[in-house]
Structure 1
């Protein structure tokens, strides 16, 4: 359970009045960042309000039930800002799991194509061609870029799958073993969020809100105490 000391709570409340700049990014296969639009927020608290009002309610409830464990992606976004500002982002990434440049491996492409076929035949809504990978481990996300917690937007076009045994989709821990996929409602997403460095494949047709991981502590406190 996440706990915060009295002094830390005072510090978090003080820090929550820092102005926040929200940048909205629209992407295309030809250009990872086709356009950027800045929307000012007056505080971290307003970002949390945005999450509560606009992000996927099922995912948000799973985060709460997991004792506020977050899901992360590494990004190439390094937006400059004044010392008095932080930035959050709405991102719509291109789908790259079937791209040989993602893992620099033809074996990885062949694996994700087999997974695509398996998931399509089984009727899953999320698969490599319309999904992305995120991790429960901030340090693992940092290997791919600036780590940010992600928050899928909207209550439609959002789905999640993960490996029933946990761990990462690639590289395979045991290539000879048949993959068993887990998803809701038979398995609980909040339990997957508590996994140790687990990868979760997600679909977010409306994009995700991404918040730099350096604000995790403030985010957890404010989410926990949001009215």
Structure 2
């Protein structure tokens, strides 16, 4: 059963600053917090602030710089992403279950509040979706999407769609997310950002404490 609040969470208008896609360079953490406070979904920041927990991914290429904007191709429907061949069947099943929604394996990426779990995939980095809208889904009955009790089947999984992110953060659940810029905002974006979907900022977890201080100073960009 899919528990759905709405198909997407839409936030106020945002405009991306004129930085180039790719490595941001040796930005101060204060610059990163400004980027987060101004160019990530408001509802995402509200929930992160509420729980005082970040979402993480394992970055396969270690970052030498403080931060980087990335827009990788979704890889959950690619062979070899998981070692288990049943994983592809599971995510193909999940794709069908979520076919009517913006977030699904073909459009999204997985993150988790569990740093240990994220670290299995590479360097642990906090994840900050970029966009004026975003959508997410997480499994109610398991910390991770795969493997599950049903192995390659997902039909019986209870999925929480666009709701209770604080609960997912607190329970160390994996979160499949996607974000995008609405057409109205895209008009004002730099050319190399107009087609971005599910782009996000990543910051090595070793900067977490500093980042939290800077975000708290700015109240996470919330009024």
* Structure 2 length-normalised TM: 0.75
Task: State the 1:128 CA deviation.
Answer: 0.5
For 2:136, which of 148, 157, 160 is the aligned residue? 160
Aligned to 2:161: 183
Task: State the 1:174 CA deviation.
Answer: 4.5
Q: Which has the larger radius of gyration?
A: 1
Change (3 A) 1:141 1:181: same
Q: Which whole-Å CA distance do the structure 2 matches of 1:79 and 1:201 have between them? A: 23
Aligned to 1:125: 102
Structure 1 unaligned runs (5+)?
Answer: 1-21, 26-36, 81-85
Task: State the 1:77 CA deviation.
Answer: 2.6
What is the total number of aligned residue pairs between the two structures? 182
Task: State the 1:125 CA deviation.
Answer: 1.4
Aligned to 1:50: 35
Deviations 1:126-170 (A, max 9, x none): 0011111111111111111111000001212x2110012241001
Aligned to 1:24: 21
Q: Which whole-Å CA distance do the structure 2 matches of 1:222 and 1:212 have between them? A: 15
Contact 2:68–2:202 (8 Å) recurs in 1: yes
Structure 2 unaligned runs (5+)?
Answer: 1-18, 180-196
Deviations 1:75-95 (A, max 9, x none): 123244xxxxx4201010111
Deviations 1:56-112 (A, max 9, x none): 21111110122x2000001123244xxxxx420101011110111101332111111
Larger relative CO (CA 8 A, sep 6+): 1 or 2?
A: 2
Does residue 116 (structure 1) correspond to residue 95 (structure 2)? The answer is yes
